[in-house]
Structure 1
């Protein structure tokens, strides 16, 4: 079973956003959210570390949508069409 590209795009976006917030200063709840995102990315991509998970997710996104690798705007549009908050 393969993870839907919209979910992968959301996870990558969330990881990148939380990485930036974490760099600004450690926060308790943010740490748990980051661990959850890392775990979900690894499980979703069948990998064991975040770098491999990000590489696998980006490759999947590159082949899932035409255009730029991991086209975030397209991913956002897809989530909006499916009724998810973006």
Structure 2
């Protein structure tokens, strides 16, 4: 299976989190559409079928992922775990 570049996954995760903070499901049509697009891209990029699984898989593929609990560590000095 092809794997997305970690930078691409990080950008998708950041965008999905931003859209969620903007109200995602309750936001404007444009925000909902972009959130659906990002969710779809995350699913395709991680080989999954739903966004929750895609988010976990994407985080697991990032540098700093800890396989024992699927967490992702932020870069040194960024203030802890994400």
Following superposition, which runs of at least 4 residues in structure 1 exceed 4 angstroms of deviation?
none
1:69 aligns with one of 57, 68, 72: 72
Partner of residue 41, structure 1: 42
CA-to-aligned-CA distance 1:1-39 (integer Å, 9 cap, x gap) = 21000000000000000001016x520111110000000
Contact 1:5 1:60 in 2 (8 A): yes
CA RMSD after TM alignment: 2.5
Point out the structure with the larger strand share: 2
For structure 1, list consecutive stretches of 5 or more residues without a partner in the other structure. Answer: 75-86
1:51 aligns with 2:52: yes
Higher helix share: 1
TM-score with structure 2 length normalisation? 0.74
Unaligned runs of 5+ in 2: 66-70, 77-82
Number of residue pairs matched? 71
**Pairwise CA distance, 1:65:** 4.5
Question: Normalising by structure 1, what TM-score?
Answer: 0.70
Report which structure shows greater RCO (CA 8 Å, sep ≥6).
1
